Amino acid sequence: MTRKVMKTINVFLVLLLLSSLLLATGCNRSPNETKEKEGNNPPKVPDILEEMEIHVLEIMYDIDSIKGISITMMEKNQEASPKEADLEMETGGDVETEIKLKPKEEEEKDTQKKMERNIEKSSVLIPLLQQDEIEGTTADLKEPPEDMEEIWFQINGEVEKLHRQWNVLEADLRDVKIPLENIDKFEETLTQASLLVMEEKVEDSLMIFNELTQYLGEFRNFFTTKVPGEVYKMKYHIRHSVFLASLDEYEKAKDHIEKTRELKNGLQKDLIEKDADHVVEKFDLSIEDLKKQLELQELDLIQTDGAIVIKNIVLIKEAFQGS
């Protein structure tokens, strides 16, 4: 009887010890597993990446405005104002001030409208940037500057700000173990873009700033985000296609259309699952329309259809954000 009791007690003690060990192991493992799980989930896309992308596009807007501003400045310098000169000779005192004020105000409004028209006619990417609700500092200009150096000086200031933003973003990129090669390529491109602005090269700087947006799109995929980086790369390719068309590089422009289509195809399954079938259909139709305009080599229509494609990419972005 005593032996049976002792055996029962021993079994109970063994079970109790095993339970204690399992409980202790479970308690100790849980925090480690949590940390490991958290470690496998990268952080959310940092705000500075979003800010930097917008800032790059705003700089592109300003660069794309330069030709139109320059045309307006030359037109203004060529225009004589004999009526105002006559008023100075024929009138005097307070009456002169009143008479001269009205023509000056009207002239400023006319100049602003002319500048807006000139920018619209000479710009390449502004119609596309507007679909992303992007406006640069030049959008606030009411009249052209006395010297175009003022605009370039302002753009250089914005580029300096971009470098400060990059300093912050680079630290975030290194935290998520982005390959150094990717970081180095972005830095090289940013340096090249900065030098082109210093040299006041409109077309070259516009193209290379657009290149920066492709890298920023790639960086997104190293973070946790609802919107895949491919969506932003699609915008890059459409802008690049329209830009190349403006240089009569139509075959290269078509290549970027195909790359955009490939990126969309990679996202299509997810979009269908999000009930974004209609958005996908609109995008496909707009891409076909843009491709037709590239065949016709009509830049105005290429810009128009390019802007429609960008708008549809914005809708794709919103479909992912709504998930």
Reported as a pLDDT band with limits 50, 70 and 90, residue 112 is: confident
- Predicted pLDDT of residue 103: 66
CA angle 179, 43, 187 (to 5 degrees): 35
Residue found under tokens 């001030």: 97
Q: Is residue 179 assigned to a domain? A: yes
Residue 64 located in a structural domain: yes
- Residue 236: which of 45, 60, 47 has the closest Cα? 60
Of 39-43, 148-152, 216-220, 235-239, give the lowest mean pLDDT range. 39-43
Name the residue with tokens 């308690």.
27
**In this structure, what token pair is assigned to residue 50?**
């979003």
Could you list the residue range(s) of the whole structural domain that residue 269 is in? Answer: 226-323
250 and 102, same domain (yes or no): no
Residues 194 and 285 in one domain: no
| Residue 186 belongs to some domain of the structure | yes
What would the pLDDT profile of 165-184 be if each residue is shown by its tens digit?
999 999 999 999 899 999 99
155's CB contacts (< 8 A; 6+ apart) are 59, 62, 63, 197
Query: Has residue 297 got a pLDDT over 50?
Result: yes
Confidence of residue 323 (pLDDT cuts 50, 70, 90): low
pLDDT the model gives residue 277: 94
For the chain, percent helix, then strand, then coil, each to nearest 5? 85, 0, 15
Q: How confident is the model at residue 26 (pLDDT cuts 50, 70, 90)?
A: very low
Domain for residue 156, yes or no?
yes
pLDDT band at 79 (very low <50, low <70, confident <90, very high): confident
**Longest Cα–Cα distance in the chain:** 135
For the chain, the residue count is 323
Our separate counts of H helices and E strands in the chain read 12, 0
CATH of the domain at 274: 1.20.120.290
Same domain, 64 and 165: yes
User: Is residue 17 included in any domain, yes or no?
Assistant: no
Residue 53 and residue 201 share a domain: yes
What are 210's two structure tokens?
């657009």
211-224 CB burial, b ≥16 within 10 A, e <16:
bbbbbbbbbbebbe
pLDDT digits (tens, 9 = 90+) for 47-69: 999 999 999 999 999 999 999 99
Q: Checking phi first, is residue 80 left (phi over 0); if not, alpha (psi -120 to 50) or beta?
A: beta
Residue 259 is assigned to a structural domain of this protein: yes
Q: Has residue 315 been placed in a domain? A: yes
* pLDDT band of 35, cuts 50, 70, 90: very low
Residues 233, 155 share a domain: no
Q: Is residue 220 a part of any domain in this protein?
A: no
Q: Specify whether 200 is located in the same domain as 234.
A: no
Instruction: Please state the domain count of the chain.
Output: 2
